[in-house]
Structures are given as structure tokens and as C-alpha cells.
Structure 1
Amino acid sequence: MIEMPKNSLQYDILITCTTEVSDEIDIIKKCIERFNRTIGSDKGIILNPKHWSTHSYPESGGKPQVLLNKQFVLECDLAIGVFWTKFGTPTDYYGSGTEEEIEELLKMDKQVFLYFSDVAISPSQLNRDEYDKVMEFRRRYQERAIYSTYSKHEEFETKLYDHLSMHFLTVSKEDKSAIKSENEISSLSIIGVVND
């Protein structure tokens, strides 16, 4: 018996966050790998994580965020964003590159999984101005979308995997129902004439 190759849907996932959450970046990649091995393999879905550290290249002729957007950011299908205590470097149009990436993808009606870390930090390490910007963005975002918080890295890992699973199981069901409804309403018929 010859096995036919599987058809898979591929989704590029933007990882957008400040450099202070490097542990979370590793967790995101781990969750995506786990999803691809389990649910993704079963449902024919492949998630490709994309981050500026691995998917950008030196380029001239524009502002850094504009170049990143052109290279890969705006081509991503969805995003996972994480904030902790730093908001990031301002761009021409937004308070930070992370905010710009999130806002631009939202304008394109793309899914954004947004998380705010409540992991404890020493007061001496906290930049109050930066943290106030994070909290202001959190308040603004809450008015138009759902975000999640976590206080431990293990909690973040559990939540992220669950959220990815719930989202893509829903997407998978929608895809199947679209195929089913097309088959149900098909009016294909074959008419033949034999000997005039």
C-alpha cells in the first residue's frame, strides 16, 4: 500500500516581546514544538515560530522597525506577545516595537495571544517609567481584547500550550465544517449520452 503525503496547514507565529523575557521566548518555542508533535501532527497543522533574532537580517534603507515589518513581521499569521516590566524602544508611530507589531497585526485582524508577567521582581531592578508604560498598555488593551497573566514560568507554559490548543482545535473544526458544507451543497452531476 502506498502512503500518500499529508497535507498540512502552516502558520507563522511572531514572537514579540522585550529582551528581558528570554525565559518566556524559550518557553514559547518549547510549547510550539510540543504542539507540532501532538495536536499539530494529528490535525495537520504546523506552527513556525519567528523572532527578530532568528528571522531578520542586516538591511539598510529604513528605520529598524519598518525593515523588520517588511522582512517578516507583517507576513506572520498570528503573534504571541509578552510584557513584564519593560515596554521597549519607541518607534516612529508607537511607544515600542513590540506595541507596533501587536497593533499592526491586530489592524490586519490577526490573532494575538498577549500575556503580562506578574513574576516578582526586586524593586531595585524596576524602572518605574517603563513599568508604567506596560501598565498603561495593559489597561488600553483590556478595553478591546482578552489577555492573560501569569506569576510563574510554569504557569505561563501551561496556559500558552492550552491557549494554542484551544485556538487551533477551533480553527481545525471550522476548516472541516467548511469542507463538509461544500460537499453537502454540491450539485455536481454527470450526464452522458450513449448512441445519440
Structure 2
Amino acid sequence: MTFPATVVSVMIASPGDVRAARDATHDALNRWNDANARNRGIMLLPLRWETSATPETGAHPQDIVNAQLVDKADIVIALFGSRIGAATPKALSGTIEEIEGAHAAGKPVHVYFSDAPLPNDVDTTQVDALRKFKSEFQKRGLYGAFTNEEELKGKVWHVIETDLAKLDVVRASSETSSSKFDVSLEVVGEVYGFVADSSELTDYVTRTATRMKSDCSASTTSSSFSAPSAQPLLDRRSPQMFVKQVEDWEANALLTPTAGLHSLVAQISPPIVFRIINNTKTSLKEVRLDVRLNPPLVALDWRPGGQDFRLYPECPKAWGGDSFLAPDLRLSPQISPSPASGVRIETESPAAMSVDIARLHSAQTATTRDDDVVLVLFAETSDGIPEVIQANWTLAAGDVHDVLHGSVDIPVVIRDLRDPLGPILRGEIGS
């Protein structure tokens, strides 16, 4: 079904050595469109020289790219890895010329440098030139850094929201006026900001993975020269499969170390409640509320306090723990819970939630359940946690052409996890 939208062009500029980062940026823009385009009436259009530029003669290739992409872009996101790129008649590289051109035109420009290890076949001349440019650029403004593509996606989402607000982008006009469509949103509860030591979390993950692989190796080695150990031999997994599971878990856990604390904080953080108030003089049907918060906000399913929790519950069972003698839960029938109304988590991070209401009568207030979702964020120190978080929301109804959008402030409560979790992470007491 078609819908009106204001198109915002976002150029992805970079030398040719960061293809994965370019793809990740493109994917982040597409994900933003999936979550917001219809409700907010705004569509992001990625511009890349590989797909958006057309062959043309009569000018330098960089001039053609400038005319076809830079001049048409509303926002520019520039990425660097280990290369600065090929020089042009006007600048040290094509990417730098694109940055300078967009900046001179008053367009938002965001520059990110990769912190990933340099490749073995790195061109040292290119690296030196890039480091010099980075040092000089630092004197002119702020730049960003990313260690992997997932981190970059979150940062792209954040700058897009910031730019849309600064550019005062409005949704495309629809057929009817929204003057008679009046709904407000209140949030009851707080965001919980947790202070955690990521280095201790990282050490815990690495130490746990090393111990698990060592236990497997010691068990299989000893069984080759002495009486077989019953427990490992009864494990459904081969040693190779087990080690692969552990290595995959370790790699994923190190990408976002604080994710291992989600099971805990979902129990100790009170849930939030949304109150949707219909100030319209008529009833509304098929109401859909979407709430978005920028990274690093995380939305988690609330869990009653007192339940057992594990640090990093996705960690594979220990070697010998997946026994043939244990019930095969994978083959047991699973009963799907019946769908329930309330807050639905679309994505954990960036936090995205939705609420569906079949009918909202005039002057009626719909309140979501108080056992659905908690909002949390993590930081290294309390100074890195803001006092208030802004949530952006959109609301649509099946019998109204327009879409309302607004924002609401949610207070933040700080909790320090370093002292209670430190002994567990350091292995001084059991987890």
C-alpha cells in the first residue's frame, strides 16, 4: 500500500576498503525505514557511488560523483578503515573532497574511523596519510569510531535521528488534516541506567570460554589413555562441535559484553507503563503506537524478581552437560503461549516497542500492563548516564489518514553493579 513520504538522501562516502562498513550503514538506513517510514512519513534514500552514480563523460570522475551524489545528499556519512583513498585534483582523496563539499554546503557530515586491527597487507603510505588527516580533522570537529559493523549501525541510527530533528524534516502531507486527531502519550516509570565494568565482563567471557575448552580437551585426552569418562562420552555433541559452540558464543558475547547482564537487570528493574489518552471527540479503531529510543537504550521483557538467573544464559552447557540420559527438550512438544495485548518489543537495541489497541473511545485512556517491558542502559561510569531520556513516538489509527508523532521525556535512575558483580566476574564466588 502506498503512502506519502518526505525523502531524505543520505550519502555513504568512503574509500574502497570498508565495503562491510558501507553495507552495514546501508542496512541501518533500511532498518530505520522499516521501523519509521510509514508512520513518520519520512523515507531515507541511501546514495552510494556503486548503485546511485550513472556513467557520464566530459568531466573528472570525482566531479561527476559530486554532481550526482554530494550535491543531492541531505546528509553525508563518511567511513575510513586503513586507506585514505586515491587523490583528486582538488583534495587528498575523493572521500575527503566529498566531505569538504558537503560541509561547505552546510550539510550534516559525520565521519567515522574504524578501530579494527589493520590488515596484514596494509599499505603503510595510505595508513600514514589517513592518520595525518585524522589528526588534522580532530582540530576542526568531532569524529566517531567503530570497532565492528553492529556498533556502527547503532551510531548511524542515532545520528539520523539527530539530523532529522536539526533539519526539521516534516512528514509528507496526507489527504486529511490532523487537527481533529488528538492523542497524547504518558510514560509511567523510569529508565534504569546500570554502571558496569566492561573489562571485567570481557575477562569473564574469555576466562569462561578458555576453561570450558580446556575441560573438554582434558577429558577427551585422558579418556584416550585410561578408563573412559562416562559423562563426556554421553554428551550429544562431539568435541569439535562443542568447541565451535563455545567459540561462537565467546565471539558474540565479546561484541556486546553487557548483554550477559540482561537476565539479571530484567528482574531488578521495575517495568514501565504507557498511557495512551484519546483527546479526539470520536472513537479510534485499530490504533497502533510505536515508541523508539536511540542507542544505547535496551528494551527487555520484564521478569518477576527472585527467579534464577545466569550470567550469559546463551553460553553453551558445559562439556558433558548435554547428556543422552537427559530428556531431549528439543523433541518435546512445545505449547505456544496465547497472544496477549500489551507492549510488544520489536527490537531490543535500539529499543523499539509497539502497542496495538482495537478501539480507543473518546476521552478514554488505555493503559498497558505493568509486567511487559523494562528499559535499561549501560555505562562505564555514572557520568555517562543522562538524567533524562527522550522517547520518540508515532501513533496511527485505521480510520484516520494522518499519523501523529511526538516525544516524551523519561527520567533515569542509576544503579551501580560493579561492587555486587565484581566478585562473581572475578571468580571469587560462584555465579
TM-score clears 0.5: yes
The partner residue of 1:27 within 24, 28, 41 is 24
Within the candidate set 42, 65, 68, 2:65 is matched to 68
Report the TM-score, using the length of structure 1 for normalisation: 0.79
**Equivalent pair of 1:39/1:165 in contact (CA under 8 Å):** no
1:89 maps to 2:102: no
Q: Say if 2:76 and 2:110, in contact at 8 Å, map to a contact too.
A: yes
- 1:71-111 per-position Cα deviation (integer Å, ceiling 9, x unaligned): 23212111111001101110001000000001000000100
- Report the counterpart of residue 187 of structure 1 in structure 2: none
SS of residue paired to 2:140 = coil
What residue number does 1:167 align with? 163
1:191 aligned residue: none
Distance across 1 between alignment mates of 2:40 and 2:4? 10
How far residue 170 of structure 1 moved from its aligned partner, in angstroms, is 4.8
Q: 1:175 deviation in Å?
A: 5.4
3-state SS of paired residue (2:17)? helix
CA RMSD between the two structures: 2.1
Q: Pick the structure with more helix per residue.
A: 1
2:149 to 147, 153, 157: 153
Q: Would you say 1:10 and 2:22 are equivalent positions?
A: no
Q: 1:109 to 1:125 in 2, by over 3 A?
A: same
Which structure would you say has the larger Rg?
2
Name the amino acid aligned to 2:55. Answer: P
Matched, 1:137 2:124: no
Which runs of 5 or more structure 1 residues have no equivalent in the other structure?
A: 177-196
| Structure 1 stretch displaced more, 100-109 or 136-145 | 136-145
Higher strand share: 2
Bigger shift: residues 100-109 or 128-137: 128-137
For 1:171 and 1:78, locate their aligned partners in 2 and report how far apart those are by CA, in whole Å. 10
Residue in structure 2 matching 1:57, options 31, 54, 59: 54
How much has 1:7 moved relative to structure 2?
A: 4.2
Deviation for aligned residue 1:121: 2.2
Distance 1:74 1:139 in 2: 27
Residues 62/115 of structure 1: CA separation in 2 closer, same or farther (3 Å cut):
same
CA contact (8 A) 2:84 2:127 kept: yes
Deviation, structure 1 residue 54: 0.7
2:350 aligns with none
Aligned equivalents of 1:22 and 1:83: distance in 2? 10
Kindly indicate whether structure 1 or structure 2 has the higher relative contact order, using CA contacts under 8 Å at least 6 residues apart: 1
Partner amino acid for 1:112? V
Query: Aligned with 1:115: secondary structure?
Result: strand
Question: 1:28 is paired with a residue of what secondary structure?
Answer: helix
Q: Distance in 1 between matches of 2:156 and 2:73?
A: 18
CA distance in 2, matches of 1:12, 1:165: 14
Q: How far apart, in 1, do the equivalents of 2:148 and 2:85 lie?
A: 22
Contact 1:35 1:165 in 2 (8 A): no
- Aligned counterparts of 1:95 and 1:130: Cα–Cα separation in 2: 11
Task: Name the SS of the counterpart of 1:72 in structure 2.
Answer: helix
Query: How much does 1:165 deviate?
Result: 2.6
Report the Cα offset of residue 115 of structure 1.
0.6
Contact 1:118 / 1:149 at 8 angstroms: preserved in 2? yes
Q: Deviations over 1:131-179 (max 9, x none)?
A: 111112212222222211011222112222222233324545x759xxx
CA distance in 2, matches of 1:147, 1:97: 18
Which stretches of structure 1, 4 residues or longer, exceed 4 Å deviation after superposition? Answer: 169-172
* TM-score, scaled to structure 2: 0.37
- Conserved 8 A contact 2:70-2:101: no
CA contact (8 A) 2:9 2:46 kept: yes
How far residue 55 of structure 1 moved from its aligned partner, in angstroms, is 1.4
